[in-house]
Each structure stands twice: as structure tokens, then as C-alpha cells.
Chains A and B, each alone.
Chain A
Amino acid sequence: MQIYLPIAEISVNALLILMLGGGVGFLSGLFGVGGGFLMTPLLIFIGVPPAVAVGTQANQLVGASVSGVLAHWRRNNVDVKLGCVMLIGGAIGTGLGVWLFGLLQKLGHIDLVISLSYVLFLGTVSSLMLTESVRAIVKGRGVPVRSKLHHHTWLHGLPFKMRFPRSRLYISALLPAFIGFVGGVLVAIMGIGGGFLLVPAMIYILGMPTALVAGTSLFQIIFTTGLAAFLQAVGNQTVDIVLALLLLVGGVIGAQFGTRAGAKLRGEQARALLALMVLAVAVKLAVDLIVRPEDLFSITLPVMT
């Protein structure tokens, strides 16, 4: 069933979009990541203009995250206080990112910056995660890394220390705020929730309990993606509501099943799977950057004003 997207200005198969939304939604629920890092490249691949893909994806992620958070909320797996601190940084990062997106688009380097950030962030994060989780699996049945929490580094010497009772943490508020900030920039530039970066950062840098990480990062992502969607729609008119709705319907349903499946998965197994998936995307993009493109020339229409 073909449907014409009014903002993207292309005709797509509605069933294909629903299925994409469902598949990515499932993974998003499973791993507690937004799934944007898969969906945005997929949308661009099927012909959606990159700017519209990023804007619409931000909007879609709001719904997916709400749906995901609800499931975690019922299990009491959301640290609201920590999420709010992250959000302060996230809002600043999103604003900066939307501005940067416009600037890079004008300079013609947006595609390169998107690809490079994917390769850099996704590659590093996933490799780290993979080695760690594989080691945990090999070592056998989830020995909690309690001792690590007391392993003091310079990170613990930062000012503005705050207590986060839900996560049983006593850390500087700057840390979650900074992680939120980076996540916010990524939301705006890459059209992703940033979960793939937030989740490991919260586990390894903050030392949060794994059970709380997915819910808390989703909680924070609702607001950063909401802000990004708003700014993109108002500033660039790049949110396609029809496309967003199709992705949402598939996405929210998929996310519910994903969350259920996630409950049966062991922490380190989930992390290893997520790491593998992210690594695959990073490798694919790295290859695209290195291999000589079929046509060295590309055209861009002026940015919609």
C-alpha cells in the first residue's frame, strides 16, 4: 500500500514503514535504547531526505520512549531525580545540536559529520561494551561488580555532589548533566535518542545499577527528543507527521514486546547483543566512508526556508 508523505515528498509503502517501526521498536524495548541509530539510516536508505529523517525520527522517538518508560515505570526502574539532572544538560545539548545541524547543512558537511559521529561513537562504545559483557559472560553468571563502585577516580572529585537514593549513588551532578548534554547533541544531529551512548555511560561512568539504566535513559530521552522534534518542526519544517505516525504505530507495539523479552534476558547478554548490533552499524558506515563512492558527485537542493 503506497502512501504519499507530505513533508518528505516521496511515496512509500506503508506496510514497509510499519514493519520497520515494529522491528526497531522491539529492539528499542529490548535494550532500552531509542533505536534511532538503526531507524535514521534506514529512512535515509529508503529515500527520505536526511533532514526530514532526523526531524521525524526525533518526533517518533518521543512516542517510543513514552511507551518504553511506562513498562519500566511499573517495575519501578526509573530514577527520576537522576533523569532530571541529565535533562538539564540534555536540553542545552539539544539546542546547540539543532543550531549545529543547520550550520553543517549549509556547509555541506552534514552527511560526513553524521557518518563520522556514528563510526566514532558507535564504534568505541560498542567495542568497549562487547569486551566487557563477553568477559562477564565467560566469567560466569553475573558476579556483581560491586567493588568498582568504590574504585575512586578523578571523576569522584568533581564538585556539586548529589545523592541519588534510587540508584544508591553519591556523585557529582556534573557527570549526569554532561552525559545528558552529549546525548542532547546527538539527538539533534543524528536523529537518535542517544540511548546507545547513554546506557553504557550510565553503567560505566556513573556506576548505576543496570536494571535502572534503561528506564532512566528513556525517561530523559522523552524530553530531549521532544525538544528536538519541536525545534526541528518550528525551525526547519522537517517533521513529517504522516511518517511519524506510521513509525509510531509499529514502534510502540514493537517496544512493548521488546520490553517483555528484555525481562527474560540477562544483563550482560543484552549488552553483548546490543554491542554487536551497534558495532555492525558502525562498521557498515565506516566501510561506506572508506570505499570509493559509486558517484563522486552528489546534489543538494537548497534548505527549505
Chain B
Amino acid sequence: MTRRNRRLLALPLALLAGFCLWQAARPAWAQSLVADLSSHLIAITTGFTGTDVVLFGAVDGDGDVAVVVQGPEGEVTVRRKDRVAGIWMNVEDVAFARVPAYYNVAVTAPLDGVVPPTVLQRHEIGLDYVRLLPEKAKLPPEKLAEFRAALIRNKQRAGLYTTEVGEVSFLGQRLFRTRIFFPANVATGTYTASVFLIRDGDVVSAQTTPLLVSKIGFSANVFEFAQRNSVFYAILGIMLAVTSGWLAGIVFRKS
């Protein structure tokens, strides 16, 4: 099979793959792209202050590489304040369903103008194309845009969404790597790192790798205990407080 033929075959398949890959983390369907993470588990221990994960891989042939890492999805409510009787209070809210808790994107070269928006939209490459849908479908577009921008802005302020597109650097012709930072306030759950090979304005190959963020050790035990045995946890907490208060009282009486 010539390379030209393979490329022709790849185009329609990419459309299919783009859809499939979001459903499950599968191994690469095409051999033109391989990627992996330096670590598949981010352990949140007591000393956790955020961490870097290196994503590296190799491509077969030329093209641009885009890396999208996103975190566990959940509902987020965006509230707008307005002045009511002189004070600022929440007057309006829009609930977004399935908002990724974390979003990070890195590319080898700027994609705007090179890749059509529909392609970026389909693969959610770039903050402008992240799928953020309100729970209630009926919403004027300008309002939706306003709340969507506010959601992204707030997430960026918390350090959970990228403020600018990161850089994927090539080492020679085929090897590439990028560094993804996870801040200390990162949510626990399953993340996906998706790597896209973009050629002639379309995604020709993609690969998704799972990444788990989990509490480990002491902090995991405490969290688990608080959730499962909340009554005992509550009593323990109060006893701890009473004991330390009482101890301090005893110690200080003698001095």
C-alpha cells in the first residue's frame, strides 16, 4: 500500500475514530501515531502540591500534533451578580452539564486558520471548542456565550483550565513530547489524554490514554472514613477537639 492510498483511507476513518475514542480508551487504531504518559496515576498524598506529567510519542510522517487532557465531568452552576438595592447579589444562574473539571491543550503549531473549526469542535481541541452545554436547552445564544466565557474564566482563575495553549515540542522528525501540569486543587477521577495527528487540516490519527487522579495513603483514608462512617468521623473530630482543648488547659495550668 502506498502512503498516498493509506492517507486516503485514513480520512474517513478519522471521522469514525473521533467519535469512538471518546467512548472508551482504546489503543491506537492506526500505527501512524503512538503516545504514552510518564505516569498513568497521579497520587494525591499528604504532601501533594501539584505535579507534572510528561506525554511523549512518535508520529509516522509529517503533520501537527495536538494534545488535549481533560478531567472528570460534572455539573457546574454559573451565577451572575447584579446590583440590587445597592448590593451585589446573584440574580441569574445557568447550570452546565458535563463540564470537565480540568482542561489542558497543547499543540506543535497554532491551529487557528489551518484547521477548520468543525474539526476542532468535533475533537474539542482548544478552549473555544470545549463542549459546554447548558442543562436547559432554551437560552439565547448571546447569553449562553456570556455564561460560557464566564465559566472558562473562573476555571482559568482556579488554574484548572489552560490560560494559553501549551507547546508540544518535536525532538527530531518523529518524536514529540509535552509537559502537562496538574495543580494541587485538581479533582480526583479519571482523566483522558488525547493525542491528535493533524495533516492537511484534518485529524488523520488519534489516540486516547487514560490517566487516574486518586487520593493515596493518609488523605485517601481520611476522605474514605468521612464518607463511609460519617457518624464516627464526626464523633472522632469532636473528641479530638475536646481532648486538645483540655490538654492545653492542663499543660498551661502547671506553667
Chain A residues at the B interface, C-beta cutoff of 8 Å: 2-7, 9-11, 47, 59-68, 70-71, 74, 108-109, 111-112, 116, 222, 226, 229-230, 233-234, 237, 239, 241-242, 244-245, 248-249, 252-253, 255-256, 289-290, 292-293, 295-302
Contact = CB atoms under 8 A, between A and B. Distances in A.
A200 to B, nearest CB: 24
Nearest to B45: A4
A237 B249 contact: no
Contact of B249 (A70, A226, A248, A295): A70
Interface of B is mostly: helix
A244 B249 CA distance: 18
Nearest to B230: A234
B234 A298 contact: no
Interface in B70-91: 74-83, 86-90
Interface in B212-231: 215, 218-220, 222-223, 226-227, 230-231
Nearest to A119: B87
Given A239-B234, A241-B240, A296 B219 contact: no
A64 to B, nearest CB: 6
A60 B241 CA distance: 6
B89 A11 contact: no
Nearest to B219: A6
B50 A67 contact: no
Nearest to A1: B47
A4 B46 contact: yes
Given A6-B219, A11-B49, A109-B89, A59 B155 contact: no
A299 B237 CA distance: 30
A298 B154 contact: yes
Nearest to A109: B90
Interface stretch (B24-32, B115-123, B145-153, B170-178): B145-153
Contacts of B227: 237
B253 interface: yes
A233 B230 contact: yes
Contacts of A65: 245
Contacts of A300: 76-77, 79
A87 B98 CA distance: 45
A70 B88 CA distance: 43
A71 B249 contact: yes
Nearest to A61: B241
Given A2-B49, A295-B150, A296-B80, A241 B244 contact: no
B34 interface: no
Contact of B90 (A2, A5, A108, A289): A108
Contacts of B238: 59, 62, 226, 229-230
B184 A241 contact: no
Contacts of A295: 150, 153-154, 157
B60 to A, nearest CB: 41
Given A67-B246, A244-B241, A239 B87 contact: no
B184 A11 contact: yes
A302 B75 contact: yes
Contacts of A293: 81, 88
B79 A299 contact: yes
B44 interface: yes
Given A4-B45, A11-B50, A300-B76, A233 B244 contact: no
A290 B87 contact: yes
Contacts of B250: 70
Contacts of A237: 226-227, 230
B48 interface: yes
A274 B29 CA distance: 69
Nearest to B226: A237
Contact of B147 (A66, A229, A297): A297
B233 interface: yes
A108 B234 contact: no
Contact of B245 (A62, A289, A297): A62
Contacts of A60: 241
28 contacts: A3-B46, A4-B47, A6-B220, A6-B223, A7-B222, A9-B187, A11-B185, A62-B241, A63-B240, A63-B244, A67-B245, A71-B252, A226-B241, A230-B234, A230-B238, A234-B230, A234-B231, A244-B240, A245-B240, A248-B241, A256-B248, A292-B88, A296-B81, A298-B79, A298-B81, A298-B90, A299-B154, A301-B75
B93 interface: yes
B242 interface: yes
B114 interface: no
A301 B98 CA distance: 11
A297 B81 contact: yes
B9 interface: no
A234 B48 CA distance: 27
B44 to A, nearest CB: 6
Nearest to A5: B219
